Amino acid sequence: MTDHTVTAFDDDLKYITGKVTEMGGNAENMVAQAVSALIKGDHALAESVVVQDLVLDNLQHELDERAVLVIAKRQPMATDLREIIGALRMANDLERVGDLGKNIAKRSKEIGDVNHPKKVVRGLDHLTSLALEQMKNVLDAYVNKDAKAAREVLSKDDEIDQVYTSLFRELLTYMMEDPRNITFCTHLLFCAKNIERIGDHATNIAETILYIVTGEAELSKHGTRPEFT
């Protein structure tokens, strides 16, 4: 972060960075708790995740308000402007991660007290661990403005996709073996897809970090670029 002659400007940027990291921590916790509620059939924990989504939404609102105020008052240029706009984009991704955690929590309540096959549980655990590791690493990269670490997050997205595909096939097998498995396996399929999407949001954040640090919007494997105007 650039040192400014106006100390209040530095304070504004620190506030924005702090809100992004706070949102990241909350979103990570929501996902971890939602998957735990799913596996354990803990409806109380699932309900607490749904409530936490309101906290995350409020944090995004606070960040948005401060960012707009800073842009209006300070008229930032170059790196400072990229940092503020990048924070807004990351906040949007993190809010979506929280929504995905909330969706998993809601589905865990719909499934009820079903004993999930151990292989499926291990697959969900593994997929969740990979997605949350990506979130942790990309948030660290943001705090440190570390382009190399951001690129490492991008390079590991394929691993999450592969684990998701394997779990998808496993769940389809259970559904074909016994029609009674169709309902809860369908819920688990949606939950697995939500976890896979969390990895995609980590990738989006990594691309935003690269833009903040380098000033260039790098092409992702999906053939899209972050749109900065």
Give me the CATH number covering residue 138.
Answer: 1.20.58.220
pLDDT < 70 positions in the chain: 1-6, 112-116, 218-229
Q: How confident is the model over 164-219, as pLDDT tens digits?
A: 999 999 999 989 998 888 888 899 999 999 999 999 999 999 999 999 999 877 65
22 part of a folded domain: yes
> What is residue 216's predicted lDDT score, i.e. its pLDDT?
78
> What is residue 183's predicted lDDT score, i.e. its pLDDT?
87
Do residues 9 and 1 touch, judged by C-beta distance below 8 A? no
Structure tokens, 77: 């240029």
Domain limits for position 86 = 7-214
CA dihedral (50, 56, 60, 62) positive or negative: positive
166 part of a folded domain: yes
CB-based contacts of 12-17 (< 8 A; 24+ apart in sequence) = 12/66, 12/69, 12/70, 12/74, 13/70, 13/80, 13/83, 13/84, 15/66, 16/63, 16/66, 16/67, 16/70, 16/83, 16/84, 16/87, 17/87, 17/142, 17/143
53 part of a folded domain: yes
> What is residue 225's predicted lDDT score, i.e. its pLDDT?
44
Q: How far apart are CA 21 and CA 14, in angstroms?
A: 11
Rounded to 10 degrees, the C-alpha dihedral 202/206/207/209 comes to: 140
184 part of a folded domain: yes
Chain centroid, CA 52 distance in Å: 15
> What is residue 223's predicted lDDT score, i.e. its pLDDT?
41
222 part of a folded domain: no
> What is residue 222's predicted lDDT score, i.e. its pLDDT?
46
**Residue of 99, 130, 94 whose CA lies nearest to 21:** 94
**Residue of 52, 49, 55, 56 whose CA lies nearest to 34:** 49
Burial class (CB in 10 A: 0-12, 13-18, 19+), 113: exposed
What is the count of structural domains for the chain? 1
Do residues 90 and 129 touch, judged by C-beta distance below 8 A? no
pTM: 0.88
1 part of a folded domain: no
223 part of a folded domain: no
225 part of a folded domain: no
